[in-house]
Amino acid sequence: MVRGGAAAAHPLRYPLIMPLVSVITTAYNAERSIGQAIETVLQQTHTDWELIVVDDASTDATVSVVQKYTDPRIRLLQHTRNLGPAAGRNRALEVAQGDWITVLDADDEYEPTRLERLLRTAEMLNVALIYDVYRQIDADTGEPLGVFFSAHAPTPTEPTRLTPIEAIRAHLALKPFFRRDLLVQSGLRYREDITLGEDYLFQTLLTLEAGGCGVLPEPLYRYRMHRGSTYRRHFFDLSQPLRVYQTLFSHPQVRADALLRRALVEDYRRIMWARAYPQFADALKRRDWRKAWSVYRVYPRVIIHLIQSLPVALWRRLRGENTHYDWEAFR
């Protein structure tokens, strides 16, 4: 049932009183999920918010669903052609008025206390950037898949501050909640020329700008896992993470801090290995020398990974163990 909320159709129609939190959502052909996403914002125990929905030239009834909501805290912006989620988020960032900004994907949901708990914890930790953790849900079945923080670091047991080095080692790729001041000071925006990992790049640059981040280890964000998602379909595209890390390595803080640079090198090698090694090994098995060479040219260290992994792979095969590559462990 539609309870409120309204698509304000004009980007210059601002609330008379600036909200404390801006929630930004990009939507493309999301008619089946956008209504529920909006409902979970309307259900927040913290009510001083605005929701900016950017429709990315949907061809279904996404716009009509959003327009059913009449709450003046909700605004609808529309693209005339499909520009991708990064461009949509950037447009929302340009008009966001809240002291704090956070992201909600069109097929995901919030727990009712998310905004309240993040605001309170950010104040307690005195941080300008904070994350909660995911409650992962199978998009097809609705089945809970567990709680996710990081594939590379244990979930904190209490609200915690992380340094930039600790955040990079954990490879945090969650939904940020951050002060708009960080954008004003830095001019940061999502890279629209990167289609995989642009959110990780943006958040890592925010972490550097903020001097670290906070973590609230509570699953307040319900994240739907799609088997056909962009992340899964383009996981093995080496050009995308290469551009992400080239940008990070060129950052002044990274160039000036040897420990920070070392942490980023380790993260880069881990991410590139996860994507390069299975392609390289498979190409060698099939004697596809052109493919093997194309992988090697982008990431030459794949040879070192191959040599290091051979004894383990051989031992597992002799023992009859499964050698299937679990790339999901490297998200």
pLDDT digits 0-9 by tens, 189-235: 999 999 889 999 999 999 999 999 999 999 999 999 876 555 555 56
The number of helices, as runs of H, and strands, as runs of E, in the chain is 13, 10
Q: What is the percentage of the chain residues whose pLDDT exceeds 90?
A: 66
Stretch 292-299: mean pLDDT: 78
Q: What is the percentage of the chain residues whose pLDDT exceeds 70?
A: 85
pLDDT of 304 strictly over 90: no
**Cα(248)–Cα(307) distance, integer angstroms:** 28
Residue 96 or 140, more confident: 96
Q: Which residue has the tokens 């080496």?
A: 238
Q: In the prediction, which pLDDT does 2 show?
A: 40
| Encoded amino acid at 135, one letter | R
pLDDT of 268 strictly over 80: yes
Q: In the prediction, which pLDDT does 149 show?
A: 95
What are the backbone angles phi and psi of residue 148, rounded to the nearest 5°? -125, 135
Q: In the prediction, which pLDDT does 257 show?
A: 97
pLDDT band at 26 (very low <50, low <70, confident <90, very high): very high
Q: In the prediction, which pLDDT does 10 show?
A: 36
Q: In the prediction, which pLDDT does 279 show?
A: 75
Q: In the prediction, which pLDDT does 310 show?
A: 64
Stretch 239-262: mean pLDDT: 94
Ranking 15-24, 43-52, 178-187 by mean pLDDT, the lowest is 15-24
In CATH, the architecture of 21-234 is Alpha-Beta Complex (3.90)
Please report, for the chain, the start and end positions of each structural domain, with discontinuous segments joined by +. Answer: 21-234, 246-330
pLDDT of 329 strictly over 50: no
Q: In the prediction, which pLDDT does 327 show?
A: 44
Among 100, 105, 104, 97, CA closest to 13: 97
What are the backbone angles phi and psi of residue 129, rounded to the nearest 5°? -145, 130
Q: Which residue has the tokens 């699953």?
A: 219
Spatial neighbors of 273 by CB under 8 A, at least 6 apart, are: 299, 301, 302, 305
Q: In the prediction, which pLDDT does 103 show?
A: 97
Question: Which two tokens mark 91?
Answer: 């447009």
**Cα(317)–Cα(321) distance, integer angstroms:** 6
The pLDDT tens digits of the residues spanning 79-125 come to: 999 999 999 999 999 999 999 999 999 999 999 999 999 999 999 99
**Cα(330)–Cα(152) distance, integer angstroms:** 8
Please measure the distance between the N-terminal and C-terminal CA atoms of the chain and give it in whole angstroms.
36
- Characterise 48 by phi-psi region: left (phi > 0), alpha (psi -120 to 50), beta (else): beta
Q: In the prediction, which pLDDT does 9 show?
A: 37
Cα 241 → chain centroid: 14
**Cα(290)–Cα(285) distance, integer angstroms:** 13
Q: In the prediction, which pLDDT does 119 show?
A: 98
Global pTM? Answer: 0.83
pLDDT band at 128 (very low <50, low <70, confident <90, very high): very high
